[in-house]
Amino acid sequence: MFITKKHLSRRTVLKGMGASFALPLLDSMVPAGTALAKTAAAPVSRLACIEMVHGAAGSSADGIVKHYWSPVKEGADFEFTPTLSPLEPFREYVTIVSDTDLNNARSQTLAEEGADHTRSSSTFLTAAHPKQTEGSDILAGTSIDQLFAQKFGQQTPLPSIQLCIENVGSLNGACGYGYSCVYANTISWASPTEPLPMEMDPRVAFERLFGDGGTADERLARRRADRSILDAISESLSRLRQGLDRSDRNRLDDYFADVREVERRIQKIEQYNTSGSARALPQAPTGVPDSFEEHVKLMFDLQVLGFMTNTTRVSAFKMGRDVSSRVYPESGIKTPFHALSHHGEKPDNIAEFAKLNRYHVGMVPYFLDRLKRTPDGDGTLLDHSIVIYGSPMGDSNVHEHKRLPLFLAGHGSGTLKGNLHVRCPQGTPMANVLLTLGNKLGLELKAFGDSTGEVAI
């Protein structure tokens, strides 16, 4: 027997008419007798940023005392609060950061008073104060996800993906209080003057990950013929499988089964939405499910597929829209989201809002579980990812940006310990957390936004 260093390229892509499939990491992509760090299996970090609007009950005066969000104890010996309890199965991966402020989301002049909902999303990942304008001279900051994409995303087919759940509208127009709607419509900024649009339609996101070549009419004809996008690569896939061992064939089969299942779910949604049946979201695109849970899970699945195949290493996901009046039937809460966030400091209303916060947090374990069950080099995708979930608003009842709800998940290729609750000193900028994450991801930042230093996570 002898050791051979012949191997399948990590950049192998299967192409067909209107389809382009990057592959998951296979054993045959790792040459024998070579140090892991010098192979395709060398750990690379992914970054997933998730925003949920309207703050949290735990940031209100009553919610702080009752610990709706932040645990009582610091360090590793903390108990999950009611809102964060869905994360308990992932304790070893979770880092909770309490009591940070997003000062640049606050008004800085009298003319800016009242525009907190419009400004908030633009500050979430930039920690920059947006310029008050309704024109084209918009100005905010470069977001942390895009700094990461600019340094490391150029090595992947898609530097980053931006997704959302609700129709936030176009990146123009005025949204009141002298602010352009662009500030409320995205959390990703490629530069202080370049906001990136967020995709709501799972079909469009799916085609962006796997569609390549062909015309829009050809892709439409394929869907109308009820043909899978996988049909376009069937011959090249068969040839590839012949040269793989059993474990790699099984890995490949699992991957394409995941792709087909996502495609099947999208097709089922489109069939229902074009059947003439009554829709809860009649104005939404054909590929968008009426169910919030189904929509969120589809978007999480697409992010996992993007990370798994190294098609992208960066995602930004806007799970809500400011001043949304959406009702979430599965949560058991019947009050519209924005109305409930203005709880009037009434304990019963705050308790109900906390239940809705728990429901939203409860969507994330689906994503974490998918990441944890996906092998990646010497670990899993969750071992090699950093997920940040939070809101740019604290106590939504008074539009305050203090004591933000925030947690991290994943080990970031060994840079985050997990199983940790850190309570920051009063007045600590949330930008300190973004600065810390940026440096753990290899950005070598000296400052970010209004940061004053790093956080011990």
Residue 41 and residue 251: Cα distance in Å, rounded?
Answer: 15
Bridge partners of 317, per DSSP, are 50, 163
Residue 251 and residue 237: Cα distance in Å, rounded?
Answer: 13
Residue labelled with tokens 């084209």: 136
Is 69 within 8 Å of 357 (Cβ atoms)? yes
pLDDT at residue 225, as a whole number:
56
Q: b vs e for 4-28, b when ≥16 Cβ sit within 10 Å of the residue's Cβ?
A: eeebbebeeebebebbbbbbbbbeb
Please provide the CATH number assigned to the domain covering 46-200+288-440. 3.40.720
pTM: 0.94
Bridge partners of 194, per DSSP, are 191
Contacts of 50 (CB under 8 A, 6+ apart): 317, 319, 364, 387, 388, 389, 390
Residue 205 and residue 101: Cα distance in Å, rounded?
Answer: 33
Residue labelled with tokens 């993906």: 161
Residue 411 and residue 239: Cα distance in Å, rounded?
Answer: 37
Of the candidates 144, 245, 154, the one whose C-alpha atom is nearest the C-alpha of residue 447 is 144
Task: Provide φ and ψ at 128, rounded to 5°.
Answer: -115, 150
How many whole angstroms from its chain centre is CA 417? 21
Helix (H, G, I), strand (E, B) or coil at 323: coil
Of the candidates 221, 210, 217, the one whose C-alpha atom is nearest the C-alpha of residue 16 is 210
Helix (H, G, I), strand (E, B) or coil at 413: helix
Bridge partners of 386, per DSSP, are 47
Contacts of 228 (CB under 8 A, 6+ apart): 260, 263
Helix (H, G, I), strand (E, B) or coil at 387: strand
Domain locations in the chain as residue ranges: 46-200+288-440
Tokens at residue 284, please?
């939404």
pLDDT at residue 213, as a whole number:
52
**10-residue averages of pLDDT along the chain (457 residues):** 56 85 89 62 90 97 96 96 98 98 96 93 98 95 98 93 82 77 95 96 94 62 70 90 91 94 95 89 88 97 97 97 94 97 97 98 98 94 98 96 98 96 97 98 97 96
CB atoms under 10 Å from CB of 92, counted, come to 12
Of the candidates 251, 257, 256, the one whose C-alpha atom is nearest the C-alpha of residue 376 is 251
pLDDT at residue 173, as a whole number:
67
Residue 359 and residue 236: Cα distance in Å, rounded?
Answer: 43
Q: Where are the alpha helices (DSSP H) in 287-387?
A: 292-308, 337-341, 347-361, 364-372
Task: Provide φ and ψ at 201, rounded to 5°.
Answer: -90, 115
